[in-house]
């Protein structure tokens, strides 16, 4: 763990709420394609290759999962142009003269696509399993309403093995509330939150909405820590009292913004960091109280002639040694 200053140790000791990003923080950030369901006579290969062509230039973990799945199947990925992203919703690009839309159910519907009841039920089933669903549709040469849905692709990320234990450890350490902030679908987020033991799930958030949630938590509870790894998490981390970044897989922006960095991206270190900060502050208060008490006793004793000046100096320096030894007790914590 890297603390970027003593002030951050002090503030971490006062944290009452810990907020987590989901992808790359509570999960390993390496999602895999689990389901490819084509529609309207489209083959799985055609659906996956079309999606990969649009997602090929994106660095988003979900996009990389689609591209990786296409490569694993040795599919030819065509070149897409005019890429436009709608953060937290989806992406569009031009492929072979047609606009292709990939994103959430709401994003496709907003662009004129009709989603059948059967498809909605399939989406609900996949999201209940904690999978993120992306719909794929082409718009033909005209508007989106003239196009067709090509199918859906479901992607699932893997929870970090230590995530549930870390959340339980934070609660045992006295954290009042553990919150998850994500741009993912509500049902997916709630499924992940239930597995980890999250108290409050805030889903389908844009980066600025994550920031608003953090500000609200600060207003309601006081000291808040935000744990994240991506560019989208940086504003929320900066707004929180303590920003904590995942060091191994975090973006440069997240690492620069953070006050504390988990160098190995090991969430199990969070309860230890909180406990260490609180023990450090207890030792500081003990040392201050002891030092002030010794000084007060020496001053009074000197005025009344009970203690000579040389003995007073020895007593003062001896108290300094005791303060140092008391501080060294922190090395026993592991």
Query: What's CA 96's distance to the chain center, in Å?
Result: 37
Nearest alpha-carbon partner for 119 in 146, 151, 88 = 151
Say yes or no to pLDDT of 312 above 80: no
- In whole angstroms, how far apart are CA 251 and each of 25, 73, 115, 205, 295? 12, 29, 36, 19, 49
DSSP 196: H
In this prediction, residue 23 carries a pLDDT of 83
Arithmetic mean of pLDDT, 220-232: 88
d(CA 115, CA 109): 7
Q: How far is CA 130 from CA 25, 39, 98, 112, 133, in A?
A: 16, 22, 32, 27, 10
- Nearest CA among 282, 228, 283 for reference residue 256: 228
Instruction: Specify the length of the chain in residues.
Output: 334
* pLDDT at residue 50 is higher than 90: yes
Q: What is the reported pLDDT for 141?
A: 45
- List the chain domain ranges: 2-28+159-267, 32-156, 274-332
- CA 44 → CA 51, 64, 290, distances in Å? 11, 18, 72
Exactly one of 21, 138, 233, 241 is catalytic; which is it? Answer: 21
pLDDT in tens, 243-280: 999 886 667 788 888 899 988 888 998 999 998 899 89
Whether the per-residue pLDDT at 215 is higher than 80: the answer is yes
CATH of domain 32-156: 3.40.1110.10
The answer to whether the CB of 50 falls within 8 A of the CB of 95 is yes
Cα(152)–Cα(318) distance, rounded to whole angstroms?
73
Query: Among this protein's residues, is 21 annotated catalytic?
Result: yes
**231 near 252, Cβ under 8 Å?**
no
Chain segment 134-187, per-residue pLDDT in tens: 999 987 544 444 578 999 999 988 889 999 999 999 999 889 999 999 888 888
Contact 265, 249 (CB under 8 A): yes
Contact 27, 161 (CB under 8 A): no
Structure tokens belonging to residue 136: 């794929």
What per-residue confidence (pLDDT) applies to 145?
Answer: 46
Average pLDDT value for residue range 111-127 = 90
Homologous superfamily of 2-28+159-267: HAD superfamily/HAD-like (3.40.50.1000)
331: pLDDT strictly greater than 80:
yes
Determine the distance from the C-alpha atom of residue 100 to the mean position of all C-alpha atoms in its chain, rounded to a whole number.
30
Asked if the model's pLDDT at residue 107 lies above 80, the reply is yes
- Cα torsion 86, 90, 91, 95 to 10°: value is -150
């Amino acid at each position: 763990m890297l603390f970027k200053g003593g002030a951050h140790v002090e503030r971490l000791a006062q944290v009452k709420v810990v907020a987590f990003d989901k992808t790359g923080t509570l999960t390993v950030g390496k999602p895999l394609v689990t389901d490819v369901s084509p529609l309207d006579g489209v083959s799985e290969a055609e659906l996956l290759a079309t999606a990969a062509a649009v997602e090929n230039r994106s660095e988003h973990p979900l996009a990389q999962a689609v591209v990786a799945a296409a490569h694993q199947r040795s599919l030819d990925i065509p070149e897409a142009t005019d890429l436009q992203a709608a953060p937290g919703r989806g992406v569009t690009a031009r492929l072979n003269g047609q606009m292709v839309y990939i994103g959430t159910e709401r994003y496709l519907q907003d662009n004129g696509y009709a989603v059948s009841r059967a498809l909605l039920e399939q989406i609900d089933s996949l999201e209940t399993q904690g999978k993120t669903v992306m719909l794929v549709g082409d718009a033909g040469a005209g508007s989106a309403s003239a196009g067709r849905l090509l199918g859906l692709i479901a992607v699932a990320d893997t929870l970090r093995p230590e995530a549930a234990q870390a959340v339980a450890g934070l609660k045992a350490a006295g954290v009042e509330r553990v919150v998850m902030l994500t741009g993912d679908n509500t049902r997916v987020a709630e499924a992940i939150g239930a597995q980890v033991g999250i108290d409050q799930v805030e889903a389908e958030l844009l980066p600025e909405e994550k920031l608003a949630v953090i500000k609200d938590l600060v207003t309601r509870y006081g000291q808040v820590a935000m744990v994240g790894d991506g560019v989208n998490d940086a504003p929320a981390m900066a707004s929180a009292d303590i920003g904590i970044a995942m060091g191994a897989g975090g973006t440069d922006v997240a690492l620069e913004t953070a006050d504390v960095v988990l160098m190995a991206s090991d969430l199990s270190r969070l309860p230890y960091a909180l406990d260490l900060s609180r023990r450090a502050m207890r030792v500081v208060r003990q040392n201050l109280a002891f030092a002030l008490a010794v000084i007060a006793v020496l001053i009074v004793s000197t005025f009344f002639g009970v203690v000579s000046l040389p003995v007073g100096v020895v007593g003062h320096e001896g108290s300094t040694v005791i303060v140092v030894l008391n501080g060294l007790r922190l090395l026993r914590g592991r």
